């Protein structure tokens, strides 16, 4: 009887846990967008004191911040899609890149965003199997490109840039530059690999139709 009650409890938990986490993430996102909206309203009150009554009414409307922020983002995309909008973006970029400290943060975030959201980017292009944090210990990583610039000039041989995410939160992790011969390219998709990581290895992707040979430490094959 005790075991059956425990089984029922776990079954119910498995039903509600994904739903609860999904609702929590959505509520966090809504709160973030509402926070941006409230910050804009606060700045409006500081610049135009007579807008206090209007902004107080807008604050009382739940979810309005999400709608307005989404509309602003969409409208910005439409505006930048033409030559006139692109010219304004270039002028804004010139102004930002002349401000110390802000320039470094802005350029770094812009490069990462361009890589992640560009259709031609290499971010998370393939799932890899690497030895980390020590020889003989394996984990899943993602191919992000090749080392370049000054760093690439110091690396002898063929290297790849990989991102090793943490579990169950893959948004934090470690950036590594590894010899290409030390990584194994997996056949699973990036989405399948992310599910595998988030579930801490519980939700394993289906095996390939033809099983590849098992990798051996110290004699890893080159990715195809």
State the CATH number of the domain containing residue 148: 2.30.30
Q: Is the pLDDT of residue 79 over 50?
A: yes
Residue 101 lies in a domain: no
Answer whether residue 222 shows pLDDT above 60: no
Instruction: Give 100's Cβ-side CA count (13 Å radius).
Output: 0
Q: Which of 42, 59, 76 is the last residue of a domain?
A: 59
Is residue 6 in a domain? yes
Q: Is the pTM of this model over 0.75?
A: no
Per-residue pLDDT, 184? 92
Q: Which residues contact 182 (CB under 8 A, 6 or more apart)?
A: 130, 131, 220
Q: Residue 216 domain-assigned? A: no
Last residue of a domain, one of 30, 59, 88: 59
Whole-angstrom distance, CA of residue 175 vs CA of residue 162: 6
Residue 82 has pLDDT above 70, yes or no: yes
Sort 210 into a burial class: Cβ within 10 Å, 0-12 / 13-18 / 19+.
Answer: exposed
Higher confidence at residue 191 or residue 34?
Answer: 191
Residue with more model confidence, 129 or 30? 129
Residue 179 has pLDDT above 80, yes or no: yes
Is 23 inside a domain boundary?
yes
Report how far residue 1's alpha carbon sits from residue 9's, in angstroms, rounded to the nearest whole number.
12
Q: pLDDT tier at 210 (50, 70, 90 boundaries)?
A: low
Domain that holds residue 186: 126-198
- Listed residue (215, 197, 149) closest to 177, CA to CA: 149
Q: 141 lies in a domain?
A: yes
- Report percent pLDDT > 90 for the chain: 14
In a domain, 93, yes or no: no
Q: How confident is the model at residue 223 (pLDDT cuts 50, 70, 90)?
A: very low
Split at pLDDT 50, 70, 90, the class of 172 is confident
Q: Does any domain span residue 102?
A: no
The answer to whether the CB of 163 falls within 8 A of the CB of 141 is yes
Question: Which is nearest to 124 in space by CA: 162, 158, 160?
Answer: 162
Q: How many CB atoms lie within 10 A of CB 4?
A: 8
Round the average pLDDT of the chain to a whole number and report it. 78
How many domains is the chain built from?
2
Lowest-pLDDT range of 126-130, 179-183, 203-207: 203-207
Tens of pLDDT, residues 45-77? 777 766 666 667 666 676 677 777 778 788 888
Q: From 213, 137, 142, select the one nearest 178 (Cα to Cα).
A: 142
Q: In which band, very low, low, confident or very high, does the pLDDT at 116 lie, cut at 50, 70 and 90? A: low
């Amino acid at each position: 009887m005790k075991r059956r009650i425990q089984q029922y409890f776990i079954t119910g938990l498995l039903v509600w846990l994904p739903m609860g986490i999904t609702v929590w993430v959505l509520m966090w996102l809504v709160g973030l967008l509402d926070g941006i909206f409230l910050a804009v309203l606060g700045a409006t009150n500081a610049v135009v004191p007579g807008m206090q009554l209007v902004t107080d009414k807008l604050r009382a409307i739940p979810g309005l911040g999400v709608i307005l922020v989404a509309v602003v983002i969409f409208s910005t995309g439409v505006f930048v899609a033409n030559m006139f909008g692109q010219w304004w973006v270039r002028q804004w970029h010139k102004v930002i890149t002349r401000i110390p400290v802000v320039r470094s943060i802005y350029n770094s975030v812009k490069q990462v965003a361009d890589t992640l959201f560009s259709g031609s980017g290499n971010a998370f292009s393939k799932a890899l199997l690497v030895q980390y944090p020590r020889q003989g210990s394996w984990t899943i990583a993602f191919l992000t490109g090749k080392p370049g610039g000054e760093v690439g000039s110091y690396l002898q041989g063929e290297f790849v840039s990989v991102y090793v995410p943490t579990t169950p939160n893959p948004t934090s992790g470690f950036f590594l530059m590894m010899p290409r011969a030390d990584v194994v390219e997996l056949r699973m998709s990036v989405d399948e690999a992310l599910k595998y990581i988030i579930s801490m290895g519980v939700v394993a992707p289906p095996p390939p139709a033809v099983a590849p040979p098992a990798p051996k430490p110290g004699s890893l094959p080159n990715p195809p």
